[in-house]
Structure 1
Amino acid sequence: MTFAAAALRRAVPLVALVLAACGGGGGGDAAAPSGAYATKTAYQPRQALASYEAPPTGFAKVYAELVARHGSRGLSSLKYDDAVLNLWSRAQADGALTPLGQRLGPDVEKIMRANFLLGWGVAGIGTPGYGNLTQVGMTEHRQLAERLARRNPELFSGQTFQGVPRRVEVLHSGQDRAVDSSQFFAASLAGAAPAVAGAIAPAVVNRYQLYPHKLSASGDAVADATSVNAAVLAASLDYQSYASSKDAAGFGAEAAAKVAAARAAPQVRSHARAVLERLFTSTFIDKLDAGAYSFSNNGTHTYSSADGRFTNTLTGDGKTKIQGIVDAAALIYELYIIAPGMAQETGSLDFGAYMPAEYAPTFAYLQDIDDFYGKGPSATEYGGVTTRFTQALLKDFFDEVGLIAQGRLERVARLRFTHAEVMIPFVARMGLRNASTPMPRAQTYTYGNNPWRGEDVSPMATNVQWDVVRDSRGTVLVKMLFNEQEVDFPAACDAARYATGSRYYEYTGLKRCYGL
């Protein structure tokens, strides 16, 4: 979480923030996410293959491009699980566990063991352990590739088009999860469309497009100060100052205070206590609430694979803190949302008993407000600080179509693999519906006043795809899919729509609309 750590260091008054009742999310209503898994929601395509709009008469598909988040993963490091296990161990020593609470520790250890060994024995995983893709995550990208091939059979039926040799390009951020996702995707595409298997080029790293939120002035210096990459580097440094609450304007500190206020809201505290009362005695919870107890991820653990050929020993860094009841419930929620994506590694462990459905939306909201201000649309007056660094990625989407418009047909597809920290600002920068509306600075994001939902905007393997078609005169049209659902470009681009009701847009008009 971007602002949560800063939020915990702030003393803020309790405020009442509207938390809507549990229900379906993603629309313009005030409903909370339906699954309450926020951005850890496992991926599902949003439209059936048979229902896609066909190209207009006289147009044929010539190109496809995609950017996708990595697939479902395990925990990023030894933190939430170890902190919760330390909390549980203290309660066990105090005799403060309920019957349900007695089950919590062993189940946390199941998640911990699965993360220590994650990827062991799996072809394509270089270093086993925390942060790797799960079997669910691998499947998400394999199936995403299969559907791409089935949706565009004419693109992947051979290695030439009108006599021109063509290739499939693969780019990733250089980070393990994105690298592995690209490999599973590419291998699946080769299997689904063997005619182009030999045309899939080796993957390359592009940090300016696919890891722009973490660029460094020294390691990512750009020689050409007028290039888009130089602008992205500057925007990245601005963003990092904002995310660490060190920007000169004070916007980062202001956003962190909004997140802190949300965590301190009476309803959040009430729901946190209700979650904990199912697991621990009131006396133990009172001590935690009063500050008599605090915990962190400072343990050391060792797990070995069943075959004895791999052993992993890790020590927590002590930076993930439990300093009250909201912290405790929020970290239990972190385990609740990671568990579905680890079903095959944990024996389909159900963490729902520890995070009841009536309380999960409260903690989904805490995730969403943090992501909204830390990665998403944030506030109108913040000047796009959370999205400007995606400019190179946006430009590349248009540049690729521009090559097609010039008659350059060397590439049949361009496939990019990245992270939520890029996908969330990218779709906000693109102006996609329900993913891009900032809040006025004087107001705070809630489920009641903004349709932005993490589970809709950035589930695992979230993706944006462009299908590109061309006619005999050289007119090029673009259709956009968001999580495999045909979607409109922003209303400001309606002049570029090819026909009333169509999801195809003229490339030249779109380019003007986006100011590129």
Structure 2
Amino acid sequence: MGRHGSRHLSSSKYDKTLFELLDIAEKDGQITNLGKELKKEIGNLMKVEKDHYGLLSTTGGEELKGIGARVGQNFKELFTSDKKVIAQATFKDRTPQSRDQFIDGLKESLGDNKVDILASAFEEGKDPYLRPYDLATKYNEYAEDGDWVKLYEDYVTQNTGTRYAKEVLLQFFSEGFYQRLNAGEFELKDEKGKVKLSNPTEAASNLYELYIISSNIKGEGDFEFGRYFTANQLKWYESIDNINDFYEKGPSLTSTDLPQNIIAPLVKELIVSTDQSIQQKDTAGIFRFAHAETIIPLSSFLDIAGANVSIDKPQDVTQNWNGSVISPMGANIQWILYSNGKDVLVKMLRNEEEIAFPIETKTYPYYKWEDVKAYYQNKLQKVGVSLDSSLEDNIELLQKKF
């Protein structure tokens, strides 16, 4: 189960709204020389991003091709002409792109080994496995206005956050213009018409998002948005990003398991497809490509250490949960199965490094498949997902229960 590789901006929002804010400041004569530099740099970024929003970057393609190549190199004996390879993706362009780059790397590493690759993508709105959050009604209400939202907003607008936002923004425009922004004068919208910049906190956060994306698109342009932040400011905004992902997509508050429970249909599918592969002996590998919103709750539901503990105090999140480890670009969780013809063992890799299942074993990193299956089947039963449920059943469950 993998996340897509490094990508361009998902849509025109952080760049668009920040550019428009700086444009207003310039027209009003309230922009600084550094503000003009930033506006020009964002303008150059927007030229790069045009027609590429949401797509895999050059770096992302290289990442996924490398992952596929290493799978082929490490397990070459599995990929024979009598076994198929299943490769699935979501409907978003960057995941089929990631799937195809992975397949290219796999094929190159296998050389003369010919395999039958069945590549597919789920239809939009009919994917309870790789994009359950599109279907989960209660979860979407929680993501928009759950108890975590006010907790998060109060945290990011505390003195540190307010001070850092002001320090960052006063590099670009006057104190008077800052006060207008702080008073709520501006409501700048993304390409879909949703307000993405209406206060100093959002403006500074949007700039940080441009800093993050710049490392994804090194092959397309050299952007230096990090130069507008101090080391302490970067650390702060990184922690804010981490906290947001934790509450919206991860273990979240102790009062709810909703963000992780929406991934139960996928866990069911992992177990069922693994069982079928063991019994039918006709599949070399099953590879799925999705998003951070898939990998983060999956890591939590699987009870991977460091990915599954709920925390009620935002200030405690960063010490206990690290999104850059759990779901970087190209993140992946692999189950590798071993058999002597009688017994089946499984080991788990995260980002190609061995990690533990949450159960006992005397042969780490190898676990009895039946023990792993029983552990997760028990969790699935508690949330009402049975192993014999269909795709349609899972869609309905997400819409009504989650």
Which range, TM-score by smaller chain? Answer: 0.7 to 0.9
Q: How much does 1:449 deviate?
A: 6.8
Match of 1:209 in 2: 129
1:265–1:155 CA distance, 2 compared to 1 (3 A): same
Structure 1: unaligned runs, 5 residues or longer: 1-66, 119-129, 160-164, 216-235, 246-251, 299-315
Task: Provide the residue aligned with 2:208 in structure 1.
Answer: 333
- 1:478 matched residue in structure 2: 346
Higher helix share: 2
Matched position secondary structure for 2:217: helix
* One-letter amino acid of the counterpart of residue 385, structure 1: L
In the alignment, structure 2 segments of 5+ residues that lack a partner are: 379-402
Distance 1:404 1:385 in 2: 30
Is 1:349 aligned with 2:223? yes
Structure 1 residues 414 and 195 mapped into 2: Cα distance closer, same or farther (>3 Å)?
A: farther
* Identical counterparts, % of pairs: 29
CA contact (8 A) 1:72 1:460 kept: yes
Q: Which residue of 1 aligns with 2:155?
A: 262
Query: Residues 204 and 101 (structure 1 numbering): CA distance in 2 closer, same or farther, change over 3 Å?
Result: closer
Whichever residue aligns with residue 70 of structure 1, its letter is H
What are the superposed Cα offsets for residues 117-140 of structure 1, whole Å, 9 maximum, x if unpaired?
32xxxxxxxxxxx11111111111
How far is the alpha carbon of 1:380 from its aligned partner? 2.0
Matched, 1:297 2:189: yes
CA distance in 1, matches of 2:253, 2:202: 26
Deviations 1:384-440 (A, max 9, x none): 21111211221222223323543x21000000011111111000000111111112x
Distance 1:481 1:452 in 2: 18
Following TM superposition, by how much is the alpha carbon of 1:204 offset from its aligned partner in structure 2, in angstroms? 4.2
Q: 1:135-174 alignment to 2 at 5 Å? A: 135-156=58-79, 158-159=80-81, 165-174=82-91
Question: Could you give the per-residue CA deviations for residues 82-125 of structure 1, whole angstroms, max 9, x where no partner exists?
Answer: 1100111122223333332221011101111111132xxxxxxx
Paired with 1:196 and 1:240, the residues of 2 have a C-alpha distance of 45
1:455 to 324, 337, 340: 324
Counterparts of 2:200 and 2:119, CA distance in 1: 49
Change (3 A) 1:410 1:131: same
Conserved in 2, the CA contact under 8 Å of 1:167 and 1:412?
A: yes
Structure 1 partner of 2:295: 423
* Partner of residue 437, structure 1: 309
The answer to whether the 8 A contact 1:191-1:197 is kept is: no
Q: Aligned ranges for residues 345-424 of structure 1 at < 5 Å?
A: 345-346=220-221, 348-382=222-256, 384-406=257-279, 408-424=280-296
Q: 1:481 to 1:264 in 2, by over 3 A?
A: same
Residue identity in the other structure for 1:297: K
Give the partner amino acid of 2:258.
Answer: V
Offset, 1:198: 3.9
1:184 aligns with 2:104: no
Distance 1:113 1:449, change over 3 A: closer
Distance 2:42 2:260 in 1: 36
> 1:174 aligns to what SS in structure 2?
coil
2:170 matched residue in structure 1 = 277
Q: Tell me the distance in 1 between the aligned counterparts of 2:116 and 2:308.
A: 36
Cα deviation 1:297-329 (Å, max 9, x = unaligned): 36xxxxxxxxxxxxxxxxx34423322211110
Contact 2:259 2:297 in 1 (8 A): yes
Provide closer, same or farther for how the CA distance between residues 448 and 73 of structure 1 changes in structure 2, counting only shifts above 3 A: closer
Relative to 1, partners in 2 of residues 1:401 and 1:201: Cα closer, same or farther, differing over 3 Å? same
> Is the CA contact 2:70–2:106 (under 8 Å) kept in the aligned structure 1?
no
Contact kept, 8 Å, 2:152 with 2:314, in 1: the verdict is no
Question: Quick check: 1:476–1:506 contact (8 Å CA) kept in 2?
Answer: yes
1:83 aligns with 2:3: no
Query: What TM-score comes out, normalization by structure 2 length?
Result: 0.88
Please report the TM-score for the alignment, with normalisation by the length of structure 1.
Answer: 0.69
Q: How far is the alpha carbon of 1:271 from its aligned partner?
A: 0.9
- The count of residues paired between Structure 1 and Structure 2 equals 375
> Could you say which structure has the greater relative contact order, defined with CA pairs below 8 angstroms and 6 or more residues apart?
1
Alignment RMSD: 1.9
The answer to whether the 8 Å contact 1:272/1:325 transfers is yes
- Partners of 1:193 and 1:275 in 2: how far apart? 50
The amino acid of 2:275's aligned partner reads G
Paired position in structure 2 for 1:94: 28
Distance (Å, rounded) in 2 between the aligned partners of 1:214 and 1:270: 36
Tell me the residue number matched to 2:389.
Answer: none
Which amino acid counterpart does residue 200 of structure 1 have in structure 2?
I
The question of 1:241 aligning with 2:133 is answered no
TM superposition outliers: structure 1 runs of 4+ over 6 Å: none
Distance between the aligned counterparts of 1:260 and 1:446, measured in 2? Answer: 13
